[in-house]
């Protein structure tokens, strides 16, 4: 019998599905306040008194509804950070830095990009972007009600 | 009712990148090997529990096409869209309910078919995090930087973990990367997100793993030495990283406490002979030592420096090479249970640790180990 050449086939696929995610009234108000007034709001749990940001309409720990809005400061402290030097599909072109910042008046940290750092020099960047560093919120002049309407900038 | 469950069959494919077999072929390979290992046929199985990711499989409700290749034809089948170890949790609960008697647990993943980081970016919520380009890898550095800010260990400590795991993998015929690396190669490997370098991270690959679990009454129907699940625990932390204590693996600590309590373990480092941990990075293996109470918080580096977790150490960790040598992402946790069970059976070949009576398997899953499960396996029931 003749030896048959076995071909191995793979078939390409691509998911192209549109979604429309409802934000709910709490997150909608939070995003609208960022867009319209350049204000960041937190949600306070009436039971444990934690001020949560991102805000939710309930406290997942106490498991009760939450409805007390609190205006947060436009400065805060870095709680955690990542500086990304590798290319990932679906992520921005590197390098970029993201920090979790506990804004003044909040009990939880909110993530966003950190601007104004020279990320090409890693040791220089990590000297400035470190846990405990103070940052200021800088809003974009044109805002669309998305988390990317602001970035953090290190002030000390 | 006798409330004990044993692992009586283990099946693994080779873990490698770019497998040319289809998903259903690798599911069938692992499942049929596990049945053969148990010395039973599919007829003796009354339920199939699978764990996989629809997004990574590229098939919504992937069990629709994969339940039968995994052994589920005209049988009760359920799926956890989560880490492979949760299929074991689910199977244990089903067997302990008394309704079922023998479970086939199967998990798989083919990382080479899809950009995994793009998929995990979609796991983040669309309002606050997805737009930032976060994924299962770049988020790890939040945790590692938080750990280092509190416990500033030298870069040679995680490098030793990589060298250990990669050297261990040389004895594992299923491992993807059977190539040793040096400390210098680790600390000079390309930076991904500081301090994490390429060699600190799991090697994502393709493969499937399967276990046969049964009750005490049915163990005699198999031909295999039973490995008893003497303790298990699982826990979930908050999704919001900004609410978590990122310097520690809280879910692992919670799951471990439950597992130790159920198994009656008081001093893990003295009572556990070997551990298999699904390390999300070399630094995470050190963090896991602390969460698993092998040492106090911040002292994980000492176990590494003393060589306590090397093959010949007091508590060898990842004799298989762990995820750093082969990680079929969603199935990687199940592989840890399979490897720990092989150690208890004394069937781990070149990677066998001597005198294993009790083994631990731990999995971390989700973004920055949001979830974890811990299993204690023993020779005796």
Residue of A nearest to B148 (CA): A131
Taking CB atoms and an 8 Å limit, are A84 and B138 in contact across chains? yes
Q: Which of B57, B58, B119, B127 would you mutate first to test chain A, the one with the most A CBs within 10 A?
A: B127
Taking CB atoms and an 8 Å limit, are A122 and B192 in contact across chains? no
Taking CB atoms and an 8 Å limit, are A84 and B20 in contact across chains? no
**What is the reported pLDDT for B2?**
63
Structure tokens at A48: 């444990």
B129 interfaces chain A, CB cutoff of 8 Å = yes
**What is the reported pLDDT for A5?**
76
pLDDT at B1 over 80: no
Task: Report the alpha-carbon distance of residue A58 to residue B276 in Å, rounded.
Answer: 38
Q: Look over chain B and give the mean of its residue pLDDT values, rounded to a whole number.
A: 96
Give the torsion sign (CA, B289, B290, B292, B293): positive
Taking CB atoms and an 8 Å limit, are A80 and B146 in contact across chains? yes
For A64, residues 6+ apart whose C-beta sits below 8 A from its C-beta are A45, A46, A47, A58
Our CA-based measurement puts residue A148 at a distance from the nearest CA of chain B, in whole angstroms, of: 7
Closest in A19, A89, A100 to B242, CB measured: A100
**What is the reported pLDDT for B219?**
93
Taking CB atoms and an 8 Å limit, are B194 and A85 in contact across chains? yes
- Report helix, strand or coil for B186: helix
pLDDT at B3 over 90: no
Q: State the average pLDDT over residues B234-243.
A: 96
Our CA-based measurement puts residue B54 at a distance from the nearest CA of chain A, in whole angstroms, of: 12
For B65, residues 6+ apart whose C-beta sits below 8 A from its C-beta are B23, B24, B59
Structure tokens at A90: 């679906």
Place of tokens 């060898």: B316
Our CA-based measurement puts residue B357 at a distance from the nearest CA of chain A, in whole angstroms, of: 39
Helices B140-150 and B282-291, axial angle in degrees (round to 10)? 60
Q: Is residue A4 very low, low, confident or very high in pLDDT (cuts 50, 70, 90)?
A: confident
Q: Dihedrals φ, ψ of A69, to 5°?
A: -75, 145
Task: Report the alpha-carbon distance of residue A69 to residue B192 in Å, rounded.
Answer: 39
SS3 content of chain B, % helix, strand, coil (to 5): 40, 20, 40
Which pLDDT tens digit goes with each residue over B120-142? 999 999 999 999 999 999 999 99
Which pLDDT tens digit goes with each residue over B286-316? 999 999 999 999 999 999 999 999 999 999 9
Predicted TM-score (pTM) of this structure: 0.96
Taking CB atoms and an 8 Å limit, are A86 and B190 in contact across chains? yes
**What is the reported pLDDT for B380?**
84
Q: State the average pLDDT over residues B183-193.
A: 97
A109 chain-B contacts, CB cut-off 8 A:
241-243
Which pLDDT tens digit goes with each residue over A27-48? 999 999 999 999 999 999 999 9
Our CA-based measurement puts residue B17 at a distance from the nearest CA of chain A, in whole angstroms, of: 15
% of chain A beyond a pLDDT of 70: 98
Taking CB atoms and an 8 Å limit, are B117 and A88 in contact across chains? yes
DSSP for B62-111, written as a single string = THHHHTTTTT-TTSEEEEESS-HHHHHHHHHHHHHTTS-SEEEEEEEEEG
Q: Which residues of A touch B (CB under 8 A)?
A: 8, 10, 13, 15, 19, 21, 23, 27, 31, 52-54, 60, 79-86, 88-92, 96, 98, 100, 102, 108-113, 122, 126, 130-132, 146-148
Taking CB atoms and an 8 Å limit, are A85 and B193 in contact across chains? yes
Residue of A nearest to B247 (CA): A80
Which pLDDT tens digit goes with each residue over B151-165? 999 999 999 999 999
Our CA-based measurement puts residue A125 at a distance from the nearest CA of chain B, in whole angstroms, of: 10
% of chain B beyond a pLDDT of 70: 99
Place of tokens 């420096």: B305
**What is the reported pLDDT for B381?**
67
Closest in A54, A98, A126 to B240, CB measured: A54
Closest in B127, B133, B194 to A90, CB measured: B133
Q: Which of B243, B248, B283, B369 would you mutate first to test chain A, the one with the most A CBs within 10 A?
A: B243
pLDDT at B244 over 70: yes
Which pLDDT tens digit goes with each residue over B311-360? 999 999 999 999 999 999 999 999 999 999 999 999 999 999 999 999 99
Our CA-based measurement puts residue A142 at a distance from the nearest CA of chain B, in whole angstroms, of: 17
Q: Does domain B5-114+204-221 have CATH number 3.30.590.10?
A: no
Closest in A15, A54, A112 to B132, CB measured: A112
Task: Report the alpha-carbon distance of residue B365 to residue B332 in Å, rounded.
Answer: 9
Q: Look at strands B102-110 and B206-215 and give their pairing.
A: antiparallel
Q: State the average pLDDT over residues B66-92.
A: 97
Taking CB atoms and an 8 Å limit, are A98 and B134 in contact across chains? yes
Q: State the average pLDDT over residues B182-211.
A: 97
B238 interfaces chain A, CB cutoff of 8 Å = yes
Our CA-based measurement puts residue B115 at a distance from the nearest CA of chain A, in whole angstroms, of: 7
pLDDT at B59 over 90: yes
B154 interfaces chain A, CB cutoff of 8 Å = no
Q: Which of B173, B46, B202 is nearest to B109 (CA)?
A: B202
* Domain locations along chain B: 5-114+204-221
Q: Is residue A2 very low, low, confident or very high in pLDDT (cuts 50, 70, 90)?
A: low
Taking CB atoms and an 8 Å limit, are A91 and B194 in contact across chains? no
Closest in A85, A88, A109 to B135, CB measured: A88
pLDDT at A156 over 80: no
Taking CB atoms and an 8 Å limit, are B142 and A110 in contact across chains? no
Taking CB atoms and an 8 Å limit, are A53 and B242 in contact across chains? yes
């Amino acid at each position: 019998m003749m030896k048959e050449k076995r071909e191995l086939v793979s078939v390409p696929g691509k998911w192209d599905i549109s979604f429309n995610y409802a934000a709910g009234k709490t997150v909608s108000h939070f995003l609208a306040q960022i867009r319209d007034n350049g204000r960041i709001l937190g949600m306070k749990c009436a039971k444990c008194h934690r001020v949560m940001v991102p805000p939710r309409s309930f406290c997942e720990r106490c498991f009760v509804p939450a409805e007390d809005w609190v205006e947060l400061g436009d400065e805060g402290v870095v709680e955690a950070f990542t500086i990304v030097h590798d290319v990932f599909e679906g992520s921005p072109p590197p390098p970029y830095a993201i920090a979790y910042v506990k804004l003044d008046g909040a009990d939880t940290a909110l993530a966003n990009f950190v601007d104004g750092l020279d990320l090409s020099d890693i040791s220089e960047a990590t000297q400035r972007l470190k846990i405990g560093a103070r940052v200021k919120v800088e809003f974009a002049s044109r805002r669309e009600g998305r988390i990317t309407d602001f970035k953090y900038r290190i002030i000390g | 009712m006798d409330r004990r469950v044993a692992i009586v069959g283990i099946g693994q494919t080779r873990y490698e990148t770019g497998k040319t077999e289809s998903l259903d072929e690798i599911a069938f390979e692992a499942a049929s090997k596990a049945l053969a290992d148990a010395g039973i046929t599919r007829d003796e199985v009354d339920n199939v529990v699978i764990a996989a990711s629809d997004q990574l499989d590229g098939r919504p409700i992937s069990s629709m096409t994969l339940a039968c290749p995994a052994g589920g034809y005209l049988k009760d089948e359920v799926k956890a869209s989560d880490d492979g170890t949760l299929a074991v949790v689910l199977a244990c609960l089903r067997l302990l309910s008394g309704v079922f008697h023998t479970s086939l647990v199967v998990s798989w993943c083919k990382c080479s078919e899809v950009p995994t980081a793009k998929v995990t970016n979609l796991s983040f919520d669309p309002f606050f995090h997805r737009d930032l380009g976060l994924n299962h890898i770049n988020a790890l550095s939040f945790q590692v930087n938080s750990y280092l800010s509190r416990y500033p260990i030298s870069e040679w400590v995680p490098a030793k973990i990589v060298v250990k795991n990669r050297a261990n993998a040389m004895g594992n015929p299923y491992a993807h990367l059977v190539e040793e690396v040096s400390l210098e190669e680790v600390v000079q490997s390309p930076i991904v997100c500081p301090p994490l370098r390429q060699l600190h991270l799991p090697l994502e690959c393709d493969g499937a793993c399967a276990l046969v679990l049964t009750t005490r009454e049915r163990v005699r129907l198999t031909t295999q030495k039973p490995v008893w699940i003497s303790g298990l625990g699982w826990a979930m932390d908050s999704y919001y990283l900004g609410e978590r204590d990122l310097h520690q693996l809280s879910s692992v600590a919670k799951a471990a406490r439950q597992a130790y309590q159920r198994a009656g373990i008081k001093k893990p480092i003295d009572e556990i002979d070997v551990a298999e941990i699904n390390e999300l990075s070399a630094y995470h293996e050190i963090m896991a030592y602390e969460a698993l109470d092998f040492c106090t918080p911040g002292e994980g580096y000492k176990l590494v420096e003393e060589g306590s977790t090397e093959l010949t150490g007091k508590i060898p960790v990842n004799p298989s090479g762990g995820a750093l040598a082969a990680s079929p992402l969603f199935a990687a946790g199940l592989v840890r249970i399979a490897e720990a069970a092989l150690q208890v059976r004394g069937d781990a070949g070149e990677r066998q640790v001597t005198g294993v009576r009790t083994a631990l398997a731990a999995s971390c899953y989700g973004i920055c180990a949001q979830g974890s499960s811990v299993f204690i396996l023993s020779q005796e029931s």
